[in-house]
Amino acid sequence: MKLERHLPGTVERFGRYLLLRPLKPGQMGSLSLAFDARRRELVVLKRARDLSPDGLTRFAAETELSTKFDHPGLVRAFDSGQVNGTPYLAFPWIAGRDLESMVERAVKFEEHLELKVALEIVRQLALALDSAHRTPGLDFVHRDISPENVMVGFDGQVRLIDYGLAQSRVGRRVTRVGMAVGTRGFIAPDQVEGPSSRSDLYSLGAVLYFAVTGRPPSADALSSLASSGDLSVPAPVAMVLARALAADSSARFSDAGELAARLQDCAPASGDDVKATMARLFPGEARAVEEEHTQLAKEASASIGKPFLAWWAIVPLVLMSVAIGLRFTKNSPSPKAPSIPPLLTSTIDAAALIENRPIEKPADIHNVPLARTVSIARTTSPPRPSKEVAARLAEADQLAKMGSLARAREIYEQLSLDSAARPFVLVERAEVELGTGEYGQALAHASQSISSNGPTLRALKVRAQAELKLREKSRAASDLRRILQLAPHDDEARRWLQRLAPETP
């Protein structure tokens, strides 16, 4: 396999994913850089390590939490499930380094992070945490805000990761009262008695102290900060630290949003300042990582060839339809010539594969429920591109994630010239644009994909999300209803529609 040029040993397959290399382990699972054969892109795969009842309970809670958030600073899982009894979560791959590595690199250069950059990193982090704390119905507490759980992207975006120790209304409590979990040096003293949003604020202050000084706060952190001869900290920053690290939780900031506002007042900065610092501390690494991961994605895509997931979308539906068909046959006589509505050629081809015999027209299909199942599978699963197109799409997606949007658009435009690939390219492009905040473009390209290829479930979901972001609520509600017609058990679409119900007819 070509990937062996980059990786030692044999590349392991885990469900729809190829495991390329291990990453730093998370609190509740092992992390791997993986290739997603369905999305044709690199991802981070988290697999449960602790398969005890308590371990599985924690992982299940993390799984549900990981799909709740809608903020650019909160990493959101896009897939979850089990393979051979091992639960997993799949997250977008982030090009960057954790804050711990960033500060260590600065110390190696015998310097500290520029003050305004340290404040901007924690300001972004505070805004993300504030969004999580305010998520309705969760009562979310992260409990492990530490430098290694803060990802700083080469694009300047800061993200909070790893919800393995989080506490919320999701799942049951597994940590005993009087026991504190988290990372030593970043745990609030009151967290032993019971974590709260204000214990997260203490951890946030500890991360700020680490970003400014290069070390975790000690018992005399504030006095050390004030007396340090090699570091000048303005009085407003010292006041923020003093309040965030207050032993009495009631003396801390009221919420993470207030802390973020104070940091903005201290030294205004932006993600561009963070991006420039990452480029200085890791010269050439962003480009090298981009090239390496683009190559890995291309080779993984080529090594797989035709996606091995096509049956994953069809087989469960087929089994269900066969059961329905048998029950129908048992309870009522089968018509000699069932009336089946006209089907697309690709649907007839799929039915031929399932029944393992030539099928030339819809009337040749034996089982009516089976024909309907295949029709649904065709409607919910867009046609797959060729190996060459898939490899180019993987390259474009990686470029977009690295911030090279202009280069990614050039590839999308070139691939769109192929009429056979165009519907798939359009929905791929729309997904990327949705992730980069280009909601108008995402809406336009998802709509074009639907016009070219019909209302596939994937394209409808992208369009509905774009419409929600653009506050086109009536159109979003219409698309969500169409999604539920195609996939009645899509809980996410149902939740979105329920939220819109009071505002739409």
Give the HSE-up count for residue 69: Cα atoms under 13 Å, Cβ half-sphere: 29
The residues assigned a catalytic role are 144
CB 314 within 8 A of CB 374: yes
- Residue 118: name the closest of 240, 26, 9 by CA: 240
Strand order in the sheet with 158-160: 96-98, 150-153, 158-160
Backbone angles phi, psi at 322, to 5 degrees: -65, -45
Is the pLDDT confidence value at 322 over 70? no
SS3 159: strand
What is the Cα–Cα distance from 76 to 135, expressed in whole angstroms? 14
Domains and CATH numbers, the chain: 2-94 (3.30.200.20), 96-288 (1.10.510.10), 310-380 (no CATH), 419-503 (1.25.40.10)
pLDDT given at position 504: 54
| Partners of 81 in beta bridges | 88
Helical spans, DSSP H, in 282-416: 285-304, 310-331, 345-355, 368-380, 387-401, 405-416
Task: Check: pTM over 0.75? Answer yes or no.
Answer: no
- Residue 269: name the closest of 418, 122, 460 by CA: 122
What is the Cα–Cα distance from 167 to 91, expressed in whole angstroms? 20
Q: Degrees (nearest 5) of the Cα angle 376, 380, 381?
A: 115
CB 34 within 8 A of CB 44: yes
Distance of CA 324 to the CA centre of its chain: 36
Q: What is the pLDDT of residues 11-50, one digit of tens each?
A: 788 999 999 888 876 555 689 999 888 888 889 999 998 8
CB 155 within 8 A of CB 403: yes
Tokens representing 1 are 């396999």
Is the pLDDT confidence value at 128 over 90? yes
Banded model confidence at residue 224, pLDDT cuts 50, 70, 90? low
What is the Cα–Cα distance from 274 to 256, expressed in whole angstroms? 20
What is the Cα–Cα distance from 18 to 493, expressed in whole angstroms? 29
Strand order in the sheet with 29-36: 12-14, 17-22, 29-36, 41-48, 86-92, 79-83
Banded model confidence at residue 312, pLDDT cuts 50, 70, 90? very low
Which regions of 50-175 does DSSP assign to beta strands (E)? 79-83, 86-92, 96-98, 150-153, 158-160
Q: What is the pLDDT of residues 390-418, one digit of tens each?
A: 778 777 777 776 667 778 888 888 887 87
Q: What is the pLDDT of residues 288-307, one digit of tens each?
A: 777 776 777 676 666 655 44
Is the pLDDT confidence value at 206 over 90? yes
What is the enclosing helix (H) or strand (E) of 46?
strand 41-48
Banded model confidence at residue 367, pLDDT cuts 50, 70, 90? low
